[in-house]
Amino acid sequence: MNGDAVGRYERNEVRPTIEMATKLAKALEVSLDYLVGNTDIELDKAAMSRIQEVTQFNEEEKNHIYVTLDAMIRDFKNKHAYAR
């Protein structure tokens, strides 16, 4: 990919193909949804790797992880709320 093509994408003169958009997302290490503006959540490789691993578990195992994660998030938020 050359700078001229990137410039045309940035100026909305042309749109990249899905294949090119996928390559751009990989090169920038962001999701395709983030790249095209469908989400403002930027997941790094470590987060994506963990999410992909969890998707391989059965429903019961996923629920255990979600319950644990929910409790940790709640505790983290409470800790920050009371620290102020």
Here the tokens at position 31 are 């999701």
Contact 31, 43 (CB under 8 A): yes
Contact 8, 14 (CB under 8 A): yes
CA Rg value for the chain? 19
> What whole-number percentage of the chain has pLDDT above 70?
98
Here the tokens at position 34 are 């983030």
Q: Write the pLDDT tens digit of every residue in 23-49.
A: 988 888 888 888 888 988 887 778 888
Distances (CA, A) of 75 to 11, 27, 53, 68: 44, 35, 24, 11
Model confidence at 67: pLDDT above 80: yes
The pTM (predicted TM-score) of the whole model is 0.56
